[in-house]
Structure 1
Amino acid sequence: MKQYDVIVIGSGMSGMTVANKCASKGLKVAVTDELPYGGTCALRGCDPKKIIIGATEVRDFAQRLVGKGINTVPQVEWKDIMAFKQEFVDAMPEKIEKGYKHNDIDTYHGAARFIGSDAVEIASEVLKGSKIVIATGARPRQLKFDGGHLALTSTDFLNLQELPNSLIFIGGGYIAFEFAHIAKRCGAEVTIIHRGPQPLENFDKDIVHHLSEATRKLGVRLMLETNVTGIKQDAKGYTVIGETNGSETEFTAEAVFNSAGRVPHIDDLNLKKASVNYNKKGIEVNKYLQSTSNPSIYAAGDAADTDGLPLTPVAVYEGNIIASNILKGKNKKPEYPPMPSVVFTLPPMASVGLTEVEAEKAGLNIKVNSKAVPGWFNAKRLNVQEYAYKTIIDTDKSTLVGAHLIGPGVEETINFFSLAMYKEVPVRDLKKMIYAYPTMGSDITSML
């Protein structure tokens, strides 16, 4: 049995943050992961996805300017862009492990299971830790209907050596929309099936409507209020069976993907053995990100039930909080700043703060500015049809409490709004600012 000051389960961004910070202060640290080091974002999520999107951005931009100075629309070479993506993915695990070893962190490769309140087993090796950090992230939600196991995952999509001619995504979240936009622009026929009346349910409904319309215009089939009841496989591909308004409908494609959301990846940790309480949102933690039932155990990121959104920067933030509390005693609790979220479709959709519905439920006195603005210069110069905004202002404080955007560059513009909300900059001061022009940020004044 080996003894450590800190054992970190999971080598994604939150786990990496805790391990390196604790080791830099002289603690004896071990880290383990059943998958290659790097976590979902770097290897199976945000980063490889964004690389692939880069190629479709070029095609989309050219297509919009055909006849306006551009005469040829490039095709995306799937194998080439996947090879380019793989350069980044392949380099990451070794780079991370070298960093751990440079910091004298012991590295393990295997699934950890608790065998006591302060001990885990990895393969046949037992490690004991004064503190143990659970940073195992999330996994795809299991599809609990006949043939649910036949659906591929987002990881499978990002590793496709050839793009199928037709694809179905079950679930209408950001994974479905982002991958549907990629696949359609690369020439595939795409269907999204969502059981509710509105996809992307955590975003503002009016801005989501704009994205839904843009998605349909792209040629993606968007089926709402359709409950999937089964998947069948035959020699030609797959048949997805759905029910819409009481009527059964069948959808066929060469590949089917589970995009029905993600859940904390904690089922295999044997948490009861460590007396760790958990629920469907993750490990139950107190205000210091400690387990509510075992104070020697901490949890962060998608594995923890916190007030943070399931975003990589939030996981890093929580990792820093845990490292501080391990090193200095439990005296720091997360005070989450505004957390911007982006759906990297084309056009992208971005959001920060309260939606209009949430602001009303909170009892705030609000002013809502909402408009579709395809006639603004920044939309016209890019020949973009989908450009819209909704800003929500607390009239008592004259500050922003929410911003929701769709259109070119909004993944960057949203950061301006996040900073303004974080520092509670009065709206009148935002209007007084002089912005570089013509930039996407220069439209902010007109959105307030």
Structure 2
Amino acid sequence: MNQTSDTTFDLIVLGTGSAGQNVATACREQGWSVAIVDPRPFGGTCSQRGCDPKRVLAGAAELIARSRHFTGKGIQTENAIDWADLMAFKNTFTQGIPESTEEKFEQAGIRYFHGTASFTDKRTISVGEHTLTGGKILIATGARPATLGFDGEELLLHSDDFLDLERLPKTIAFIGGGYISFEFAHIAAEAGAKVHLIHNNDKPLKNFDPDLVQALVGKMEEIGITFHLNTQTEKLSRSGDGYVLEGKEDGKPLRLECEAVVHGAGRIPNVDELDLVTGGVDFDKKGVTVDEYLRSVSNPDVYAAGDVSGSPGLSLTPIAGLESRAVAANLLKTDSSKPDYTATPSIAFTYPMLASIGMSEAQAQASGKEIKVNLLDMSDWYTYKRVGEKPSMAKVILDKSDGTILGAHILNGEAEHLINYFAIAMRQGMTAEQLGDTLFGYPTEGSDMTYLLEL
């Protein structure tokens, strides 16, 4: 837009990801004047630099792994990934998003501005030469990679960079033991790279069940991934066409020569350039401090949703959608809509996949409830033996007093489906008996549910 004078809107949205788009569109449909601002290509992280392109690459890695399971069982040879072809395919999902998002805003009558936004007072936003005043403001700017604080940190690739690599490095290290590093490590290893994964303590994937994480680590080691736990990265430097990573592993010197080193050690709310102090918007390391209606506790005209919000919700795309629906309802009606974070599923798209929902075993033990823990090795069950899945494991935590499902944790190639069955049951208040009594098609992973739910 070529607007150069001060402009007033009913709503200003900062960020064009799913949360920002949802609220902007909902308010515009009700006749509000809406402006939306983003310094990066429109469309947000998930669709262009996160979940969606990652899953395209992970899908190829999964096919390689499944094919390998059948080698000698009817499949004659292993498949292989052509990285350039895979990236070209990935680009078919991402390349048109900024333009189509702009067209969407244009057609809806939403004014859009490319640039970095910052508060100049509690209701005014500066974007380059533009000054925008909003009756209400939504902060939906997502998250950015955390600062790690070691010498040479500026040489790190970020997740965006990995998803755009034209050529896969022969040797690659991932710093961080979260799901992003695990997923990317699996993709790179299945594509033929030598992979190192570095984590600063002995508990990677801390938000997932430790028994299943241990089994997943073992499986990933089988395909050649080297884990460096209890390892502190101290320095990254250039060496010819590659890099040298130096640190301490269990207190002993570590030196790795790699063609690339990728930051996968966590993300933090993207607020640094917003000048929230000038806007009277309180925030902390979790993000914008909000009440149960996602309204800023210090500036009643400001809301926040998605990864930038300091709400109890996990940093996941479905939570951004959940929170955006609540914000839209609260803006258009009154502060009456509270997001329900009950039973939020998390999935690491490695292979096997690792999925989690509800309480961990430790949380259930500490709750004071009388619980039953079903820890099952399903590797020899027909469903998984027929496709060579090993390990295949589940841990389901039940409340013995009333049959409530407290938590479920799955490790296998069908985890993405199984965890969604649990999500439906837990959000709708179904008991273990009711879910177990559901008739699923046979033979499928659903038809095994009853064995996971025995009280």
TM-score range, shorter chain: over 0.9
**Aligned partner of residue 73 in structure 2, secondary structure:** coil
Is it true that 1:312 corresponds to 2:355 in the alignment? no
- Pick which of 162-171 and 58-67 moved more: 58-67
Deviation at 1:430, TM superposition (A): 2.1
Among candidates 169, 176, 179, match of residue 174 of structure 2 = 169
2: distance between equivalents of 1:426 and 1:236? 58
Partner residue, 1:74: 79
Is it true that 1:209 corresponds to 2:214 in the alignment? yes
Partner residue, 2:47: 42
1: distance between equivalents of 2:42 and 2:161? 18
What does 1:203-352 align with in structure 2 at a 5 Å threshold?
Answer: 203-352=208-357
Partner residue, 2:119: 114
Partner residue, 2:161: 156
C-alpha contact (below 8 Å) 1:352/1:414 kept by paired residues: yes
- Pick which of 302-311 and 231-240 moved more: 231-240
Partner residue, 2:93: 88
Amino acid at match of 2:89: F
Is it true that 1:429 corresponds to 2:434 in the alignment? yes
Alignment deviations for residues 109-142 of structure 1 (CA, whole Å, 9 cap, x no partner): 1110100100000011000000000000000111
What does 1:363-374 align with in structure 2 at a 5 Å threshold?
Answer: 363-374=368-379
**Aligned partner of residue 402 in structure 1, secondary structure:** strand
Amino acid at match of 2:268: V
2: distance between equivalents of 1:282 and 1:358? 25
Deviation at 1:145, TM superposition (A): 0.8
Is it true that 1:190 corresponds to 2:190 in the alignment? no
C-alpha contact (below 8 Å) 1:283/1:304 kept by paired residues: yes
C-alpha contact (below 8 Å) 1:165/1:189 kept by paired residues: yes
2: distance between equivalents of 1:434 and 1:320? 33
Alignment deviations for residues 164-199 of structure 1 (CA, whole Å, 9 cap, x no partner): 000000111101110000000100000001011110
**Aligned partner of residue 272 in structure 1, secondary structure:** coil
**Aligned partner of residue 273 in structure 1, secondary structure:** coil
Among candidates 398, 421, 437, match of residue 416 of structure 1 = 421
Is it true that 1:389 corresponds to 2:394 in the alignment? yes
2: distance between equivalents of 1:288 and 1:71? 57
Amino acid at match of 2:418: T
Deviation at 1:246, TM superposition (A): 2.1
Structure 2: which 5+ residue stretches go unaligned?
A: 1-5
Structure 1: which 5+ residue stretches go unaligned?
A: none
- Pick which of 145-154 and 66-75 moved more: 66-75
C-alpha contact (below 8 Å) 1:143/1:149 kept by paired residues: no
1: distance between equivalents of 2:120 and 2:387? 59
Deviation at 1:238, TM superposition (A): 1.1
Deviation at 1:433, TM superposition (A): 2.2
Is it true that 1:403 corresponds to 2:408 in the alignment? yes
1: distance between equivalents of 2:334 and 2:426? 31
Is it true that 1:354 corresponds to 2:359 in the alignment? yes
- Pick which of 55-64 and 119-128 moved more: 55-64
Amino acid at match of 1:342: I
**Aligned partner of residue 376 in structure 2, secondary structure:** strand
**Aligned partner of residue 274 in structure 1, secondary structure:** coil
Deviation at 1:307, TM superposition (A): 1.1
Deviation at 1:274, TM superposition (A): 0.6
Deviation at 1:439, TM superposition (A): 0.7
Among candidates 196, 200, 208, match of residue 205 of structure 2 = 200
- When the two chains are superposed, the root-mean-square deviation of aligned CA atoms in Å is 1.0
Partner residue, 1:19: 24
Alignment deviations for residues 397-426 of structure 1 (CA, whole Å, 9 cap, x no partner): 211010000001111110001111112212
Deviation at 1:378, TM superposition (A): 1.4
Deviation at 1:311, TM superposition (A): 0.5
Deviation at 1:236, TM superposition (A): 4.3
2: distance between equivalents of 1:387 and 1:196? 26
Amino acid at match of 2:147: Q
Query: What TM-score do you get using the length of structure 2 for normalisation?
Result: 0.97
Among candidates 1, 7, 22, match of residue 12 of structure 2 = 7
Amino acid at match of 1:238: Y
Query: What TM-score do you get using the length of structure 1 for normalisation?
Result: 0.98
